[in-house]
Amino acid sequence: MKNKYLMKILCITLISTMVLASPVSIMASAEEGFTVNSEDAGSVTETPSPEPTETPTPDPTGTPSPEPTGTPDPTPTDTPSPSPTPSPEPTETPEPDEISKETQEVIDLIDSIPSNITLDCEEIIVEAEEAYENLSDEEKAMVYNYVTLLQARELLDELKENEAEKPEDGSDGENSFNDSDSNSGDSFSSENTNVQVGQKVTIGSSSISNLHAGKGFYLDSLEENYNLSFSDDFAEVMEEIEQEYKDANKLVDVSDTEEDHLTSSRDNLLVRNWQDILAVYIYQQSKEGTDTFTLDETAKEELAEIFAQMNPVVRDKKNITKVSYGNYHINYYIKKNKISKDDREILKKYTETDCKLLCAVVTGAKGFVRQSVGEEVSEERVNVITAAYSLVGRVGYFWGGKSTTIGMDPSWGVATTVDADGSRTTGSLRAYGLDCSGFVTWAVINGYQDQEMQGVIGDGTSDQWLKANTVSEEDAQPGDLVFQRGPEAGSDNHVGIICGQTDAGDWIAVHCSSSKNGVTVGEAYSASFRYIRQPDFYPTQEELDEIEKEKSQNTSILAALEEEDSKSSSPKKTLTILEDDDTEAGDGFQGLEVLD
């Protein structure tokens, strides 16, 4: 009897221990961050504890104590059977609360955030953050991937800060450095596009093109501020006008005798007043009631007439084969046509610095580029800048992209895998283009129409730095190179080309930007450029002086008048001298008041 009683006590104790042990173990797992797997929980079938609702918790006060005088005689029905305890069903085991629909939606949103964070990810990150904040505290605790959202927000904020304060552009693709500060353009892979390697990508037709840096911004600025637009072939229209004028006057310049017809500082017939011609054309159109102006083939005839008026052929009396153009500016037109002060405003507007720059960028025409960079800049520098402008809106940024092709490279726009290390785009599929130093190399090669210039300008930002010389800001000129970092950066750098100055004297640069995914033009300092270097392949001032000395032998009437006036202390009175004074003024309006 005693043995039966002891057996009863032992069984009750065993059952109580098993009941109490089960929920404790689940809580410990939850504290350690694990989730109980229902399949694993049900794998043990031999000895699980009974359901908690059916098994009474042992009460120490309810356990009968053995009395020496009366041992209870338990009946068989009261004695638990020592048979194996059944395994718990998964639904009977205490589990953490089930994930709600709203919680799962937040988890899915976070999972949909790309691993490569770009500025374009902001919308999905904000959406996930707002959805998370709408959850209860209990639901928030169930969002197991919340740390991913926090990391995405941190990376996005860093990119936004870099966009505003740090270099906006990708550095060279030759070295293995992380371009996280600058390569904020979208990253693409063959998994998220139907484009195949080797396929030509039309701008705007595919996500891998992603060409942000186009002519749109500059065209919009022209339309909004000047009601002005150009056809895509307007540079050709300008060249036709110049060539037909030469042919009509039976003129041949130095470059006309060269095989490549590339203009140079040795030419005598370089047109330096196209902006003034444009201003006169718009002035005349406005007088006829036009308030929006489109420059295309239909404007050619009127432009040619104005061109002839503003560029009379000036011949030397002693040798009529020695000629030059008048290159008259708006002061000449104002004086000749007795333009009132009120009417001069439109002429002034269309020859201001911003308009000059926009016309040069949008058309890529040398006639506009010459005036936008300044009268004293050599034609060799003009050629390089013109080549650089020709790629605005036509080629995208490609990490490690290079080209020595003269003219448009047929490989540009072809879907290509980025194989240069060091970029977030490495291994992804993108439309082939140029990186920053590749753009500079191509511009110089095409500016000189000579592939051997590759070795002169250098390959990569480090090489281009070393092959250029120190120059003071006062002596710097359009065509010089600008860098974001010093020599200690090596190839971890970004390079562009100076292409002009603002009215305030701030440098303007053209460069191939990763964040804009293409060639863009803007203030150099705002793009984090801090260093100017001068390449040694441009003609030096001594060489230019020698060229001018040789050209002076072709003295024209205009040059003779200028020389005669320079020896006189009397005010400049003739129309020719007045317009030439305007040339030296820089902004095209010096001395307007004396014309009244």
pLDDT in tens, 153-205: 878 887 887 666 544 444 454 433 233 233 333 333 333 344 455 554 443 33
570: DSSP letter: S
Can you give the pLDDT at residue 319?
A: 72
Same domain, 363 and 229: yes
Can you give the pLDDT at residue 299?
A: 97
- CB–CB of 535/513 below 8 Å? no
Domain residues for the domain of 67 are: 2-92
CA-CA distance, 275 to 89, in Å (whole number)?
Answer: 87
- How far, CA to CA in Å, does 157 sit from each of 108, 118, 150, 161? 22, 10, 11, 6
- CB–CB of 111/41 below 8 Å? no
| CA 219 to chain CA centroid, nearest Å | 17
Residue 153 phi/psi, 5-degree rounding, is -65, -40
- CB–CB of 358/375 below 8 Å? no
Same domain, 228 and 377: yes
Asked if the structure places residue 429 within a domain, the reply is no
Same domain, 235 and 383: yes
Asked if the structure places residue 139 within a domain, the reply is yes
- CB–CB of 95/60 below 8 Å? no
- CB–CB of 226/349 below 8 Å? yes
Token digits of residue 139: 């639901």
Can you give the pLDDT at residue 159?
A: 81
Angle at 568 between CA 563 and CA 574, to 5 degrees: 70
Can you give the pLDDT at residue 587?
A: 36
Of 55, 70, 92, the domain-final residue: 92
Same domain, 284 and 324: yes
Q: Which residues pair with 578 in a beta bridge?
A: none
CA-CA distance, 419 to 426, in Å (whole number)?
Answer: 6
Q: Can you tell me which residue has the tokens 């390089």? A: 384
CA-CA distance, 381 to 387, in Å (whole number)?
Answer: 10
Same domain, 374 and 308: yes
Same domain, 51 and 26: yes
Angle at 361 between CA 368 and CA 498, to 5 degrees: 90
Of 92, 126, 147, the domain-final residue: 92
Which segments in the chain show pLDDT lower than 70?
1-98, 115, 144, 162-214, 552-596
**Percentages helix, strand, coil for the chain, rounded to the nearest 5?**
45, 10, 45
233: DSSP letter: T
- CB–CB of 485/492 below 8 Å? yes
CA-CA distance, 56 to 46, in Å (whole number)?
Answer: 21
The count of structural domains within the chain is: 3
Token digits of residue 76: 């068989």
Same domain, 78 and 144: no
Asked if the structure places residue 430 within a domain, the reply is no
Enter the pTM of the model.
0.63
pLDDT digits (tens, 9 = 90+) for 316-330: 777 777 788 999 999
Same domain, 256 and 230: yes
**What string of DSSP letters covers 443-491?**
HHHHHHT-TTHHHHH-SHHHHHHHTEEE--TTT--TT-EEESS-GGGTT
Per-residue buried b or exposed e for 183-198, using 16+ beta carbons within 10 Å of the residue's own CB? bbbbbbeeeebebeee
Q: Which residues contact 81 (CB under 8 A, 6 or more apart)?
A: none
| CA 218 to chain CA centroid, nearest Å | 15
Asked if the structure places residue 419 within a domain, the reply is no
Residue 169's CB is within 10 A of a number of other CB atoms, namely 28
DSSP-derived 3-state class of residue 178: coil
Of 64, 92, 120, the domain-final residue: 92
Token digits of residue 257: 């005798």
Asked if the structure places residue 156 within a domain, the reply is yes
Same domain, 259 and 347: yes
Please list the alpha-helical segments (H only) found in 288-433.
300-310, 330-337, 341-349, 353-363, 366-373, 379-389
Query: Is 159 exposed, middle or buried (CB count within 10 Å of its CB: 0-12, 13-18, 19+)?
Result: buried
Look at residues 322, 379, 315 and name the one whose alpha carbon lies nearest to residue 543: 379
Look at residues 448, 446, 447, 422 and name the one whose alpha carbon lies nearest to residue 435: 422
Token digits of residue 395: 């080629």
Same domain, 83 and 115: no
Can you give the pLDDT at residue 305?
A: 97
Token digits of residue 167: 């270099």
Same domain, 224 and 359: yes
**What string of DSSP letters covers 398-412?**
-TT-----SS--TTT
Asked if the structure places residue 373 within a domain, the reply is yes
Asked if the structure places residue 569 within a domain, the reply is yes
Can you give the pLDDT at residue 364?
A: 95
Q: Can you tell me which residue has the tokens 């998220």? A: 192
Rg over CA atoms, the chain: 40
CA-CA distance, 159 to 163, in Å (whole number)?
Answer: 6
60: DSSP letter: G
- Containing H/E element for 17? helix 2-31
Same domain, 374 and 298: yes
Asked if the structure places residue 316 within a domain, the reply is yes
364: DSSP letter: -
